[in-house]
Each structure stands twice: as structure tokens, then as C-alpha cells.
Amino acid sequence: MKIAAALTCAGAAAHASVIAPKDGQSISIPPTKPDDAIVVPKDFVGFGIESAFLNNFANDFSENLVSALAARMSAPPVMRIGGTSGDYFLFDAHQKEDKVCFHGKCGSHDASYLLGQSFFDGYKRFKDARFIVQAPLGNPINTTNTLAFVTRAWKNLDGGRRVQAIALGNEVEFIYRAGAKAYVDAALSLQASIVKELKLQGGAANIFEAGNTASGTVTGNKLYQVYVPKTRKSIKGSAVLFDLLTLTYPSKEILDANFNKNGRISTTAEHWYQISGDHPWTDHTMQSLMINHTAISERFGPYLPSIKATRDRKLDYAITEDSAVLGGAQIHFSGGFGYTLWAVDFNLAAMARSVARVTNLAGRPNAKRVFWTPDNTGGEPSPGPHVRAPFPAAIFVADFIGKRSPSAVKEIKTQGDLTSAYAMYDEKSGTLRRVALVNMRLYNGTASTNRQRLSFQVNVGSGVKQVKVRRLRADKGVAAMGYDFGGPSNNVSWAGEQWSHGVDFGKGHFRTGKVEEHVVKVDNNGVALVVVPDSEAVMLLV
Ligand SMILES: *[C@@H]1O[C@H](CO)[C@@H](O)[C@H](O)[C@H]1NC(C)=O
Ligand SMILES: *[C@@H]1O[C@H](CO)[C@@H](O)[C@H](O)[C@H]1NC(C)=O
Ligand SMILES: *[C@@H]1O[C@H](CO)[C@@H](O)[C@H](O)[C@H]1NC(C)=O
Ligand SMILES: *[C@@H]1O[C@H](CO)[C@@H](O)[C@H](O)[C@H]1NC(C)=O
């Protein structure tokens, strides 16, 4: 096990419909945990729900999906209930309905809702999970209202025992446009009111999440950076209703403005939408901008200063809202198996860069880019209830982290834009436990029957006799939409397991009744030959 392990990749001839790749490549895996491997938090993978739609998700089906994830983890997954709608909630204790829309684009996140008592029943659900509660943070703050909200959520989350964090606002640079200091001043005063109201003592008060900075703010997307709506009314209005934004501030600036002076911040959070704006969507767009490891890696560039600033202060840095596509693309580009591959690589790349948590989008019923839709309220083009193609990506990520003992991850360099590799080690013993290989070369099973593949030679060490290989796959490649959406030709499975509303109500089922995996013998030099078809991710269990 002391010999440097090598992972090489070369063309493999196979049966008739499979074309051998021209590009061979060679990469190497450290046989034992390298010093710079990153310890992965046990609750790394979770889900995010847009605030106003909590009760659409408060059903047995969604709960089964969350429990399916929790069962693979050694700590409760985190559910982020947050988003634009969550900052504009008002509360009326006498209202019968759980929510009534009174302003804006009703049915979406860009609207204002008046909540009744029953809204908070949603927080009684998902007992296997912990929650991020977003404290409504308007400008100015309506403290009475925010405390009415936070105390009710807190009570229903088992008196705070299932609260992972209290987020002070969402995409706060759009609300406090005068700069980080304006946000920090307002949020600190709200924080003090919350601490007092909930009677949080000592370390129990150190649970606040900062920022939830918008994706475009971090990356300097001009449209986002330069123009913000003058009033909430004008969000969908014309350009003349927009005014100039002079200051934007990622999480680093919020920390630099001394937000954590009282030690009560636990996490800074930012958002990530890989592709925003209009693009002519074709498979080429998907390959070049989305399922492309170089594109994902390079986009971390502007995030790194805030990740570092957060980690330097020994706080957690989380990505609490993320997807490949913000808008514009048809659902088969934004919500199919291409998103699954993107989500796997994004989650693994994030954990390898010290991101403590990713809460993947369950979102809202009418969004296209979601892991599942909870009910039938979304309508076209996002009907439901459905488990969508990306859902198994969350299970893959959880299984890669593993359940037994703490793990540490290391990204392994590959050549070219379209493959990635990650090694997972036992944190204590340093033993190599699992290897994830992602082949993002686009295969569209609707357009073509020829599926190419790559064959990797993985050196797992001469002490190992065999490895087990499990696959995250779809016959249709990136065109697969999942069984509930597209029927039996659109299946997406992980190690032979699928999740479906129609078949198993979100509990998961195996097509053959058991885990599907195959054993690969390790040769005398410690090398396992592993074949990965295009648009597929595999995991080696060492
Ligand atoms: C503040 O919140 C309370 C409780 O939700 C509400 O009754 C009141 O109208 C709000 N005030 C303003 C100025 O919006
Ligand atoms: C992947 O993304 C990088 C960075 O944006 C780009 O330069 C490259 O052309 C893309 N690769 C492919 C195969 O589209
Ligand atoms: C796959 O191919 C079909 C048929 O050419 C096309 O309509 C579709 O846009 C392609 N991409 C995806 C992701 O389905
Ligand atoms: C797809 O999944 C369904 C539900 O498990 C199953 O009945 C069907 O046989 C599968 N189809 C294929 C082609 O594997």
C-alpha cells in the first residue's frame, strides 16, 4: 500500500455499439490519505426547499425521500427552508389558511405571503432531518413579525433540537444595498432579539448563518451586479424600473465587517447557479457549460476567498442553494440525467474544497431543476408528484462519504474537461475506502445508439484482491428524465436502486431485488480495470 497508486485511462474496445475512445489518459491516486485530504462533515448532503412551499413538501412521499437519504448517513441531513419568499413573510395568528399570497408573482418565490398558524406544521415533519430556519429579514426589519415566525418554527422543530442554523436573511445584498456594514448592523440587532426571545444561553446561541449570498453576486455576473430592482414590484418589470447597484458583497466582506464579533455565527452561506441567462440550448451547450468538470472547477475561483475567510475563522462554509441551470433551458436540459451528473461532480468538487454542506434543490413544485416534485401543483412543464432524475445523485454522494467512520476526501487530477475522480479515505486509519469516477462525456440515448466508454486502470494497491463497482446510470444517458416523468425507458438507477413516487412512494426499490454491483479482480500489480460508459458515474468500494 505504500507504492504510489496509479489510475490510468485508455481506450477499450467492446461490443459493436460501443466505440473505443481515442484519448487515453493516466492519473494517479495516493494509496493512503494525503495530508491535504479534507475531512467531510457527516451531514454534508441535504436538501433545500423554497420557504413558501414548505407545506407542499410536508407529505409522506417527501418524507420517505428524505428518510432514504438519512438512512445512508451517520448524521441527520440538513433541510434548508429559505429563499426570496422567506424574507417577506407576514404572520397573522387568526388566519385559517397556511398561507395567502398578497403581493407579487403568486405561486412563485417572487411573492409576499401572509402566514397562518398551520404554516408551521411543516416544521413538525422530517424527523430524520435538521433544519435551517430563515429569519425574515426585511429592510427595515419588522422584529415583532420575525420573532413570531422564528419562535413558531423553533417550537415545532422539537424546541430547537432539530434546528441546525438560523439564517439571517436570504441574498441579503439585494435587501441591504448600502453594503456589508448595513447588513451586519441590521442583522446583529435582529440576532440579539432572537437570542433573547429564544433564551439561548452560551454556545447554544452560536447558530446563526450569514449571507446566503446570490450566485451572481459571487461570480460578478454583470446583470446581477449592476442592476437590481428598485422595488419588489418591479422585479419582472422593464429595464427602466431598475436602478444602479453600487455595492455587492460576498461572504468574505460580511465576515470582514465583523459579523462574528460575538461568536454567534456558525456558517456563512452562498448560492450557486452554474448557468444563468439565455443560451441556445443544445447538447453542445450542456456539454460545454454544464457537464464539464473544468467549467465547474473554474467557477469555484470567485468562491474561494469566502471559503478561505470562513475556514480561517473556523466556521462552516455552505452552499445552500444550487443548480446547474438558473432559467431558460427546457426541462430535459435543466432537470434530467445531465443534472444528475452535474450534481454528483459539483457536490464532490465542493467537499474537496472544504465546503461543509450542499443543500441540493427540492425547490418548489413548479421549478424544472429539482430533485423531486412533491405534489401536482406545479403543472406544465413540471408536473408531479415525481422523483426526478437527479435524486439518486444525493444518495450517491451520501454513500461516497460513507456511514461507518469519519472520512476524508481528495480530488484526483484527470486529463481533459470531461472526467473527474475523487478518493475517499478513512480519516483515522488513512486507508483508501472508495473511489468515484465521473465520465461526463455526453451520451444522448434519444439521438444515438453508439455509446462510447472509457476504461480506467485504478491502482488500489497490491494488498487488495478485488474491488466492487457500483454504477449511477441511465440507458438514455443525459436524455433520461427518471421513471416517474418519462416512464420505463427513462430509468435512472444507483447500484440497481431506483426511487419513484409511482412504484415505491419514495422509499426506493431494487429492480432485481438487491444491490447491483460487479466484482473486478485486482491484478498482481494492484491494478483494477474499470470500464465507465459515457455519461455515467461509478464508485469503487475498495
Ligand atoms: C409587522 O408584523 C406584524 C405581525 O406580522 C404585522 O401585523 C404588521 O402589520 C407588520 N408591520 C409592518 C409595518 O409591516
Ligand atoms: C469545458 O469548460 C472549459 C471552461 O469553461 C472550456 O474552456 C472547455 O472548452 C469546455 N470543454 C468542452 C469539452 O466543452
Ligand atoms: C437528445 O436528443 C434529442 C433528439 O435529437 C434532442 O431532442 C434532445 O434535445 C437531446 N438532449 C437531451 C438532453 O435530451
Ligand atoms: C424501469 O423501472 C421500472 C420500475 O422499476 C421497471 O418496471 C422497468 O422494467 C424498468 N425498465 C427498464 C428498461 O429497465
Residues 178-192 have a mean pLDDT of: 96
Question: Whose Cα sits closest to atom 13 in ligand 1?
Answer: 142
> Would you state the pLDDT for residue 4?
35
Residues 159-169 have a mean pLDDT of: 98
Band of residue 201 on the pLDDT scale cut at 50, 70, 90: very high
Q: Which of 473, 483, 493 to mutate to test the pocket of ligand 4 (most atoms within 8 A of CB)?
A: 483
The three state secondary structure string of 196-228 is HHCCCCHHHHCCEEEEEECHHHHHCCHHHHHEE
The three state secondary structure string of 429-496 is CCEEEEEEEEECCCCECCCCCCCCEEEEEEECCCCCCEEEEEEEECCCECCCCCHHHHCHHHCCEECC
> Would you state the pLDDT for residue 237?
37
> Would you state the pLDDT for residue 224?
38
For residue 90, the ligand 1 atom closest to its alpha carbon is: 5
Residues 376-399 have a mean pLDDT of: 97
> Would you state the pLDDT for residue 10?
38
Q: Are 469 and 521 in contact (CB under 8 A)?
A: no
Helices (H), 60-167: 60-70, 143-156
Q: Which of 23, 288, 289 to mutate to test the pocket of ligand 2 (most atoms within 8 A of CB)?
A: 288
Enter the DSSP assignment of 307. H
**Which ligand sits nearest to residue 292's alpha carbon?**
2
For residue 333, the ligand 3 atom closest to its alpha carbon is: 13
Q: Which amino acid is residue 90, in one-letter code?
A: L
**pLDDT for residue 241 is more than 50:** no
**pLDDT for residue 240 is more than 80:** no
Residues 196-221 have a mean pLDDT of: 94
Distance 444 CA to ligand 3 centre (A): 6
Pocket around ligand 3 at a 6 A CB cut-off:
283, 332-333, 336, 338, 444, 446-447, 478-479
Question: Whose Cα sits closest to atom 12 in ligand 4?
Answer: 488
Residues 390-418 have a mean pLDDT of: 95
Q: Which of 25, 274, 292 to mutate to test the pocket of ligand 2 (most atoms within 8 A of CB)?
A: 292
Band of residue 247 on the pLDDT scale cut at 50, 70, 90: low
Residues 454-460 have a mean pLDDT of: 88
> Would you state the pLDDT for residue 525?
86
Q: In the chain, what percentage of residues exceed pLDDT 70? A: 90
Q: Tell which phi-psi region holds residue 456, choosing left (phi > 0), alpha (psi between -120 and 50) or beta.
A: beta
Pocket around ligand 4 at a 6 A CB cut-off:
483, 488, 491, 498, 503, 511
Distance 387 CA to ligand 4 centre (A): 14
Higher pLDDT among residues 2 and 425, named by residue: 425
**pLDDT for residue 334 is more than 90:** yes
**pLDDT for residue 191 is more than 70:** yes
Q: Are 500 and 484 in contact (CB under 8 A)?
A: yes
**CA–CA dist 293, 365 (Å, integer):** 29
**pLDDT for residue 194 is more than 70:** yes
> Would you state the pLDDT for residue 507?
98
pLDDT, tens digit, 9 for 90 and up, residues 272-289: 999 987 889 999 999 999
Distance 287 CA to ligand 2 centre (A): 8
CA atoms within 13 A of residue 24's CA, in its CB half-sphere:
8
Distance 74 CA to ligand 3 centre (A): 39
Distance 3 CA to ligand 4 centre (A): 43
Helix (H/G/I), strand (E/B), else coil: 465: coil
**pLDDT for residue 9 is more than 70:** no
Higher pLDDT among residues 448 and 238, named by residue: 448
> Would you state the pLDDT for residue 13?
32
**CA–CA dist 126, 144 (Å, integer):** 28
> Would you state the pLDDT for residue 170?
97
Element (H, E) at 25: strand 25-29
Task: Give which of 479, 445, 466 is closest to 335, Cα–Cα.
Answer: 479
Question: Whose Cα sits closest to atom 9 in ligand 4?
Answer: 488
Distance 276 CA to ligand 2 centre (A): 16
> Would you state the pLDDT for residue 107?
84
User: Which cell is 184 given?
Assistant: 451586519
**CA–CA dist 342, 324 (Å, integer):** 7
> Would you state the pLDDT for residue 196?
98
The three state secondary structure string of 497-518 is EECCHHHHCCCCEECCCCCCCE
Q: In whole numbers, what is the pLDDT of the chain averaged over residues?
A: 91
**pLDDT for residue 113 is more than 50:** yes
> Would you state the pLDDT for residue 26?
57
**pLDDT for residue 16 is more than 50:** no
**CA–CA dist 179, 474 (Å, integer):** 46
pLDDT, tens digit, 9 for 90 and up, residues 209-225: 999 999 988 988 543 33
**pLDDT for residue 37 is more than 60:** yes
How would you classify the pairing of strands 316-325 and 227-229? unpaired
Burial (CB count within 10 angstroms: exposed 0-12, middle 13-18, buried 19+), residue 282: exposed
**pLDDT for residue 233 is more than 70:** no
Residues 177-201 have a mean pLDDT of: 96
**pLDDT for residue 418 is more than 50:** yes
Minimum mean pLDDT range among 79-88, 241-250, 328-337 = 241-250
**CA–CA dist 428, 407 (Å, integer):** 8
Q: Which amino acid is residue 396, in one-letter code?
A: F
pLDDT, tens digit, 9 for 90 and up, residues 41-52: 999 999 999 999
